[in-house]
Every structure is written in structure tokens, then in C-alpha cells.
Amino acid sequence: MKRLISGLCVITDTAVQQRFSHVQLAELSMQGGADIVQLRGKALSTKDLFASAVGIRALSLAYGTVFIVNDRADIALASNADGVHLGQTDLPIAAARKILGNDKLIGATASTIDDALKAEQDGADYIGFGHIFSTTSKEKLTPPTGVAMLRDVLQAVKIPVMAIGGINQKNIESVWQTGVQSVAVISAVASAETPKAATAQLKKILTPL
């Protein structure tokens, strides 16, 4: 059964930090209450990426966390992840759907309203929209979209939207107040002194008493 995209997504990263492996960072995030964990291991060999995916999948089942693999539909299928997130230079959505079938999530990156509408038309289950703010986690060729364009995208598409890019404790509330279904962070957790506590603090902002 296809899972829903909502809440806090933590994307694993070993480029902005080298203290924790992808699996360790995923577990700390889950302990902190992450709703979604995305494995992004661009520098890993296919063998190591698969091993990390299998490890994170086992954890996600134990914690009830949605598990998404970045870029690689084959690794998502082989590890029985909940889905894949596709960048704009990755497999077309239709091709990934042939690999994963209809029970797995397929997310698609968008940086404009037109990108988002095309991804929805092509069959994406959710949009990863950004970068909302300036970010050092990934080189960007376009300026930040800001929350105003995020609001426009939310009005334009019917599928869930995950905001990403430069989101941290100082600005996550302004993103969440747009009504976006999910918010993704990288450095805000990966580079934190204690990733588990950082995740918990971010999650608390999204779920106030």
C-alpha cells in the first residue's frame, strides 16, 4: 500500500558531515521523530548504496518511518523502500513507474510552477519543491524560490508538496505556515551537534502543543 508524504523529512548526507554513516544518521533522525527519511548517497558505489538502503529500510519498518531513496529506482525496488525521489536529470517518472509499479511513491524535483505541473501530469505522487532558501548542501544554478512561490505551487497542484532547500530551525515555521504537506532538511540535522535532538526540535515546531 502506498504511503503518504507528510511532516518532517530528513535527508541523509555524508558530504556536509563525516561523523555518521547514512544508516547512523537515519536512525538518529528516526529516534528524533522524523516522519520521512531519504537516503541521498551520490558518492556511494551501487553496492554500498544498496547496503545502506537495506539497513535504513529495516530501521524504517521498526520506527514506522517512510523511507525514500534518492535518484535510484532500482535501489528503491531492491531494498523494498517506500519509494524514490527523482531529480530533473534522473529517470523519467513513467520509466520509474515501470520499475516500481503503482504501490511505491515517486517524488519529482521542481523549481518552477511549470516543473511542478509537468511532474503532476507525468504521474508523480508528490513534488519536492525548492530550493526555498540559499543552501550549501547542493550547488544550485537558480536563485532561491522563497515562500511566495511555494504558496503559488501549492495552489497550482493537487498532489502533496515537500519544501526543500536551506530550511532550518529559524525559518522552518514560515515554510510550514504556507500549508505545505512536508518539509525536508539536510544540514539542519546532519550538521547539528546532536542530530537526534535537532530532529526532535524541528518536529516540535511542526507539531506544536
10-residue stretch averages of pLDDT, the chain, 209 residues long: 91 95 98 98 96 98 98 98 96 97 97 97 97 75 88 97 97 97 97 98 87
Report if residue 1 sits inside a domain: no
Q: Residue 193 is part of which domain span? A: 7-206
Question: What is the DSSP annotation of 130-188?
Answer: E--S--SSS--SS---HHHHHHHHHHH-SS-EEEESS--TTTHHHHHTTT-SEEEESHH
CATH number of the domain bearing residue 52:
3.20.20.70
Q: According to the model, what pLDDT value does residue 138 have? A: 59
pLDDT of residue 141: 66
Round to whole Å and give the CA distance between 161 and 135: 19
| Residue 101 buriedness (CB in 10 A; 0-12 / 13-18 / 19+) | exposed
Residue 2 lies in a domain: no
| Host H or E run for residue 62 | helix 46-63
Backbone φ, ψ for residue 146 (5° rounding): 75, 170
Instruction: Write down the pLDDT at residue 135.
Output: 75
Counting every residue written for the chain, the total comes to 209
pTM above 0.85, yes or no: yes
Q: Work out how many domains the chain is built from and give that number.
A: 1
Residues 6+ apart with CB under 8 A from 18: none
